[in-house]
Amino acid sequence: MASRSEAKALHRVGLTPTTIRLAWAYAAKGVGRHYIEHMYYDNVRVETLYDWKYVDGAGRAGLKVTFCKGSHRARYVELGVEAIGGGGDPLMAEITEGP
């Protein structure tokens, strides 16, 4: 959680909680250019900031979501992504001795 002074600094450049949630919504749509009906922006670009890599035993990647008006980059949000869990059918079964 950001401190009060950090939150104020982010708010000054337009990175409000609403903007960050909007960035996440467009990141979930995938890499590429997306069009938006908004007062201040008309397109959103999602790009890979850095590819998936392992650092200290944890895998992570980065995405950059840029809000634009025409070709002008009004603001951007950088999002870090890491695996937090998963599951599925077993790939192997344990072999046990006979009855």
Give the tens place of pLDDT for each residue, 36-84: 988 889 999 999 999 999 878 888 999 999 999 999 999 999 999 888 8
Strands (E) in 5-94, as ranges, are 32-35, 43-55, 58-69, 72-82
pLDDT at 8: 75
1 pLDDT band, cuts 50/70/90, is low
Count Cα atoms within 13 angstroms, Cβ side, for 22.
19
12 pLDDT band, cuts 50/70/90, is confident
Task: Report percent pLDDT > 90 for the chain.
Answer: 44
Contacts of 27 (CB under 8 A, 6+ apart): 46, 63, 65, 79
User: 81 pairs with which residues across the strands?
Assistant: 61
What are the residue ranges spanned by the domains of the chain?
4-82
pLDDT at 31: 95
Q: What are phi and psi of 16, to 5 degrees?
A: -85, 165
Model pTM score: 0.75
